[in-house]
Chains A and B, each alone.
Chain A
Amino acid sequence: MAKLILAFNSQVIREYPLTRESMTMGRQEDNSIVIDNLAVSAYHAKIDKVGGEYILTDLQSTNGTFVNDEKVVSHKLSHGDNVVIGKHVILFVATEEEKLEAEEKEKRLPLDRTMLLDTAKQRELLAKQKVAPPTVKLPEKVGVISFIDDSGLGEIKLTKKLTKIGKAETSEIKLSGLLMGATAVTISRRPSGYVISFAGGRTKLKVNGSVVKDNVPLSDFDTVELGSYKFQFYQKEVKSA
């Protein structure tokens, strides 16, 4: 069985066999490996067994986790890896069998199969340890357009994935004007951010003064003109539900 050797100032403190599917390291007493040192976070890092491999993950610790002098977020442990947490060093020692197996696997492309993270198991474990899940949710941002003309439309949040702007009754934002298209402009939310597209009608679309005939990505505080309408785009943080 693989094991971890905890050392401080070149002094071996203890050995820990990797018996469990998941082991955590940190200052709090309910960790599998307790390291009582101020440089160590309450729940600093963990090691999961995934398909015969041991994966080290930093639990967004304050001072970081290092493997062989390199800062890591997640790392597949190999025999002889030096994991540094604060001033403590943890040496990862694989068994002969595992070493051979790992070499074999290396030849067959390691972890090339798609696997699913066992979230149920992970969640259960985290609940037991009262640790916030390592995947902290980013504050959700939502686009807002703020009319800076004299239309009195004010601020409108872009709550839809695709916001249609135009004369049609079905538009999310209805604008008037003889030459306004039924759908004149659309703003879509994509993986890369918000994009504004010209959709139709005879009213020109301008972003920061240049005419747009197709699409252009929107950045915070871009100014958009559509005929006599003028608005500014920006993104606002919202509390995720």
Chain B
Amino acid sequence: MQIKSCGMTDVGLQREGNEDSFSVEDRFGLYMVADGMGGHLAGEVASRVAVEMINKSFSKWSEQVVPLDEIFGFSDESLSREGNYILGSIRLANRVIYEMACDYEQYNGMGTTIVSLLVASGLIVAANVGDSRMYLVRDKRIERLSKDHTIVAEHAEMGVMTEEEAARSPLRHILTRSLGSSENVDAEVFEITPSSEDRFILCSDGLTDLATDEEILHLALKETDPQRLCRRLIDLALERGAHDNTTVVTVFLGEVEKKMEASFGRLGVVVADALNGASRIKRKLGL
């Protein structure tokens, strides 16, 4: 499978430091964006540690094909092996950041969001904690593959607030989960199968605060390479005042082959349809 990817970050127009981190690792198909918080460089440290820890543990576990009972924390039976490696890596990063925050005064209260994309053979794993998002653009439509962990998103899910109210609420930046704030964390993990020409966009809230899903879709359909799309999305945030750090990672898939193991031609299909019909009749007769 052909993958083209790009990552970019911009400090924005109002912040002095950049607390976002990102990672683009085509070798193991792992892509991440993290948005750190906490003063005096602590946010920057938290987001960097998250990205590096996850890269390290995921690559180690997947290279050695580590059994699932040896990863960090209990494995989740609803997930694939790769999904569990991601889940375990996020838990591990959380614990490391949490302990750093407890042990060192200058890191007290630091934390970070994380959103990660894994492109494996025949499998896509999307995971997140916090409000950094992942979008999938497929068949000219945009879809979120992440869940915001904010008070307002939870209110919206409960149906006591509409999506629009949630997007405008002054509480939209208050997270209910992050890496580093407690000893254990639950990541949101989704698994899907890849399709030809899938486009993934991972970003920090610096972008999603200033651009709607439709605007992101519009640019994602217009731009043909991941680098230009990154640039355009960051420019959009800058044009609108960029009050926060803005980070974007884009991943474009090429042709994804759907396996047609049965290598019959046209005639074969006819024969096979007939066979299919025959087996149906046989089953009906209880043979």
Contact = CB atoms under 8 A, between A and B. Distances in A.
Interface of A: 50, 53, 55, 60, 73-74, 76, 109-117, 119-120, 135-136, 138, 150-151, 159-162, 177-179, 181-183, 186, 188-192, 195, 197-203, 214-215, 227-228
Contacts of B170: 53, 76, 110-111
A159 B76 CA distance: 11
Contacts of A197: 192-193, 195
B195 A161 contact: no
B91 interface: no
Contact of A113 (B37, B130, B192, B269): B37
A214 B113 CA distance: 32
A202 B189 contact: no
Given A111-B174, A112-B244, 16 more contacts: A50-B174, A53-B170, A76-B171, A116-B111, A117-B176, A159-B77, A160-B77, A160-B80, A178-B276, A182-B259, A191-B145, A199-B258, A200-B260, A201-B261, A201-B262, A227-B276
Contacts of A60: 160
B276 A188 contact: no
Contact of B175 (A53, A115, A160, A228): A115
Nearest to B19: A114
A241 to B, nearest CB: 12
Interface in B27-63: 35, 37
B279 interface: yes
Contacts of B154: 135
Given A151-B283, A177-B279, A135 B193 contact: no
B76 to A, nearest CB: 9
B175 A112 contact: no
A145 to B, nearest CB: 16
Nearest to B43: A114
A177 B261 CA distance: 12
Interface string B99-136: 00000000000010100000000110000001100000
A11 B144 CA distance: 51
